[in-house]
Structure 1
Amino acid sequence: MNKKTTNTREKILETAEQLIYQNGIHAMGMDLLVKTSGVARKSIYRHFANKEDVASAALTERDERWMHWFRTESDKGDTPQERILNMFTVLKSWFESEGFRGCAFINTAGEVGDPDDPVRQIAKMHKQKLLDYALELSVQLNIEHPEALARKLMILLEGAITTSYVMGDCSAADKARDIAKMMLEQASPGT
């Protein structure tokens, strides 16, 4: 692929991601994508078969970028406990950022009824990566049931995201962090 082709594809995906995050998948029509991106319809169809392919590719790229950011920022702690608690600090910084509209994967999964739809599968993959990261950190604690802790952390993460967006409460991350801290204090090796 030459640089122009790559730049066109990137522009399409960047615009699609912004439109999906702002308005949802159903509101991101090809006409709006053409108008907003400035890329001709013919050029879009050179890269993607249809709107669903554009949406899937845009969400896949968002997943990769978001997970990289989230892990990099959360991993700044020295211990597994600090990294676990950092997850909530990182979420709060996201909640307070301009344009925060909740989780793109929760939002888009809610728009699609079919659990086998590619968009739902991408959302599921994203959430599995988040759970896997929580499990990775939980295993590092050397506790007896790291899977159970990871699942509880996942519920706290998702609850904080949803509460922050729906209720407009950025402190949801602080409250979830406090609960996680209590869980960590109760979890000790061998318990």
Structure 2
Amino acid sequence: MAMDTDTAQRQVLDAADGLFYERGVQAVGMDAIRTASGVSLKRLYQLFPSKDALIEAYLDRRDALWKSMLADHVDAATDPRERILAVFDFLDDWFRQRDFRGCAFINSFGELGTVSPRVAELAMQHKEGFRQALTELSKAAGAADPERLADHLILLSEGAITRSAISGSPDPALRAREAAVLLLDATLPRD
């Protein structure tokens, strides 16, 4: 029985996600994706005409997943200050995942950013989306300069992501959260 398009596409993206995230986008060939997904090479190329198209789909999917996981944490908090700190709680949970390998966008940009304008663009869009989310959270918390606070928060977040990926420890999320508390104490209005 032939596999429907949605199922085949999901299987290919599941395989690509696992392999690209674990090994890197350049180290994984389409044959490995075929084997891991159980989708024939012919069907794979019907769904994704090139490896570049598959990498783009992988990054699009990672972006949606990341935004959803972040929103789950932030939306669980009601106090504007706690909503900002929930970002770091999200990072802590993410860093503790068994398969955490850092940011898929930073990793992909590091591999392909100079040769693939589309990967560079997707990485920039993802990071700018995160910055905009932090800006909105900063506005809601009453920051006098929400964009500047967001820039500080993103540096703490991105530094924690990179440090955790390199060290293999979730502790950078806790240190970044501690620094964020100090930053919020210094910049947000007192009740």
TM-score, scaled relative to structure 2: 0.93
Which secondary structure does the structure 2 equivalent of 1:26 belong to? Answer: coil
Aligned to 1:93: 93
Name the CA distance, whole Å, in 1 between partners of 2:124 and 2:115.
9
Give 1:189 shift.
Answer: 3.8
* 1:112-131 matched pairs, under 5 angstroms: 112-114=112-114, 117-131=117-131
Give 1:115 shift.
Answer: 6.8
Which secondary structure does the structure 2 equivalent of 1:133 belong to? Answer: helix
Name the CA distance, whole Å, in 2 between partners of 1:63 and 1:188.
29
Aligned to 2:144: 144
Aligned to 2:66: 66
The alignment yields a C-alpha RMSD, in angstroms, of 1.5
Query: Which AA in structure 2 matches 1:29?
Result: G
Aligned to 2:168: 168
Kept after mapping to 1: 8 A contact 2:69/2:90: no
Name the CA distance, whole Å, in 2 between partners of 1:132 and 1:115.
27
Query: Which AA in structure 2 matches 1:43?
Result: R
Kept after mapping to 2: 8 A contact 1:21/1:101: yes
Query: Which AA in structure 2 matches 1:77?
Result: A
Residue 56 (str. 1) matches residue 41 (str. 2):
no
Give 1:47 shift.
Answer: 1.1
Aligned to 2:35: 35
Aligned to 1:134: 134
Kept after mapping to 1: 8 A contact 2:88/2:177: yes
Kept after mapping to 1: 8 A contact 2:109/2:123: yes
Residue 187 (str. 1) matches residue 164 (str. 2):
no
Q: Deviations over 1:94-147 (max 9, x none)?
A: 111111111111111100142752122111111111111100100112222110
Which secondary structure does the structure 1 equivalent of 2:4 belong to? Answer: helix
Name the CA distance, whole Å, in 1 between partners of 2:116 and 2:128.
16
Which secondary structure does the structure 1 equivalent of 2:9 belong to? Answer: helix
Task: Please list every run of 5 or more consecutive structure 1 residues that lacks an aligned counterpart in the other structure.
Answer: none
Q: Structure 1 stretch 14-23 or stretch 68-77: which is displaced more?
A: 68-77
Kept after mapping to 2: 8 A contact 1:74/1:86: yes
Kept after mapping to 1: 8 A contact 2:20/2:28: yes
Name the CA distance, whole Å, in 2 between partners of 1:91 and 1:113.
24
Kept after mapping to 2: 8 A contact 1:56/1:119: yes
Name the CA distance, whole Å, in 2 between partners of 1:59 and 1:116.
13
Aligned to 2:110: 110
Kept after mapping to 1: 8 A contact 2:163/2:172: yes
Name the CA distance, whole Å, in 1 between partners of 2:152 and 2:188.
16
Which secondary structure does the structure 1 equivalent of 2:76 belong to? Answer: coil
Query: Which AA in structure 2 matches 1:79?
Result: D
Change (3 A) 1:106 1:149: same
